[in-house]
């Protein structure tokens, strides 16, 4: 009985180890940590540099109250404005990095690959999870299974 239980636990531990230390999970963890650090950096920039400069132009600049004291009937407008500016800076940075830069890299990659042959299929089916994936994929994006690379067309046969 214990032999069977130990074998079951070892199998699950091996499966968990494979899952936990695949590149996708580690990349996700790194992204979360870097995203949190980036958010803290932006909050520091907005709270310590940007908004104090803005508060210099406020009506109460001589008292040094700062933007955090901007209120209207108990509604903390200054703190909200600081958080809004922080969000807009983070959103703009993510847009520039993820949409524009990655889009530019994808466009360069497509241009480097040259024109595709319209007679060839663009997708194939993963043999394990049966999801549609690109023909040239060597790893399934759905189940992360390693696949055989697509066979390169025989250039000599095409020229003959």
Please write the tens of the pLDDT for every residue from 81-121.
Answer: 888 888 888 888 888 887 888 888 888 887 777 666 667 77
Considering the entire predicted model, what is its pTM?
A: 0.45
Say whether both 97 and 139 belong to one domain: no
Q: Cα separation of 60 and 106, whole Å? A: 50
Please check whether residue 114 is in contact with residue 102, taking contact to mean a CB–CB distance below 8 angstroms.
Answer: no
Residues 95 and 76 in one domain: yes
Per-residue pLDDT tens for 31-54? 888 888 888 888 888 878 887 787
52 and 38 inside one domain: yes
Does one domain contain both 59 and 87?
A: yes
Claim to verify: residue 49 and residue 100 sit in the same structural domain: yes
Interatomic CA distance for residues 105 and 10, integer angstroms:
43
Q: Are residues 38 and 17 in the same domain?
A: yes
Please check whether residue 42 is in contact with residue 90, taking contact to mean a CB–CB distance below 8 angstroms: yes
Please tell me what DSSP assigns to residue 146. Answer: B
Write the CB contacts of 146 (distance below 8 Å, at least 6 apart in sequence).
138, 139
**Domain identity same for 137 and 101:** no
């Amino acid at each position: 009985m214990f032999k069977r239980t130990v074998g079951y636990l070892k199998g699950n531990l091996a499966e968990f180890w494979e899952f936990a230390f695949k590149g996708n999970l580690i990349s996700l963890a790194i992204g979360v940590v870097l995203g949190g650090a980036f958010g803290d950096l932006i909050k520091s920039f907005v709270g310590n540099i940007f908004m104090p400069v803005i508060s210099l132009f406020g009506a109460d600049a001589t008292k040094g109250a700062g933007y955090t004291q901007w209120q209207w009937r108990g509604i903390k407008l200054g703190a909200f404005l600081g958080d809004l500016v922080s969000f807009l800076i983070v959103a703009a940075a993510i847009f520039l990095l993820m949409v524009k830069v990655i889009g530019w890299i994808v466009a360069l990659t497509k241009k480097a690959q040259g024109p595709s042959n319209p007679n060839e299929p663009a997708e194939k089916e993963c043999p394990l999870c049966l999801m549609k994936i690109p023909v040239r994929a060597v790893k399934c994006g759905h189940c992360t299974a390693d696949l055989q690379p697509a066979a390169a067309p025989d250039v000599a046969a095409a020229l003959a």
